[in-house]
Structure 1
C-alpha cells in the first residue's frame, strides 16, 4: 500500500499499517502497490474508517477529533 498525505508525501507499507496511517491523516489517500492482492486498497480504506487517529498516543482518546470516522458519524448524525 502507498498512503499519501494531502500534500502528496507518501509511505509504503502493509494493509494493517497503511490503515493505521490513513486513519491519522486528514485528506489522506491510499493506493495499492502493483503486487498488492485484489481489493487491498478498499480493505485498507475500510479498516481505516474504524481506527482512531493516533490511537497509540495519550490514551484514552475520546475527544471528537480523536474518534474514528465511523465513531464520529455515529455520534454526530
Structure 2
C-alpha cells in the first residue's frame, strides 16, 4: 500500500500501518502497489475510519482530532 498526504508525499506499508497512517492524515489517499492483495485498499480505507489517529500520543483523547472518524460521526449524530 502507498498512503499519500494532501501534498502527495507518500509512504509504503502493510495494510495495518497504512490504515493507522491514513487515520492520522486529513485528506490522505490510499493506492495499491503491484503486489498488493485484491481488496486491500478498501480494507485500509474502512479500517482507518474506525481507529484513532496518532496512537503514539499519551493522555486523554477527547478532542475531535484525537478520535476516530467513526467516533466523531457518532458524537455528531451522523
Q: Which bin holds the TM-score, normalised by the shorter protein? A: over 0.9
- Measured on the aligned residues, the alpha-carbon RMSD in Å equals 0.9
Report the counterpart of residue 70 of structure 1 in structure 2. Answer: 70
Gaps of 5+ in 2: none
Report the counterpart of residue 14 of structure 2 in structure 1. Answer: 14
Greater shift, 5-14 or 49-58, is seen at 49-58
Aligned residue pairs, count: 77
Runs of 4+ deviating beyond 2 Å: none
TM-score when normalising by structure 2? 0.93
- The alpha carbon displacement at 1:8 in A equals 0.2
TM-score when normalising by structure 1? 0.94
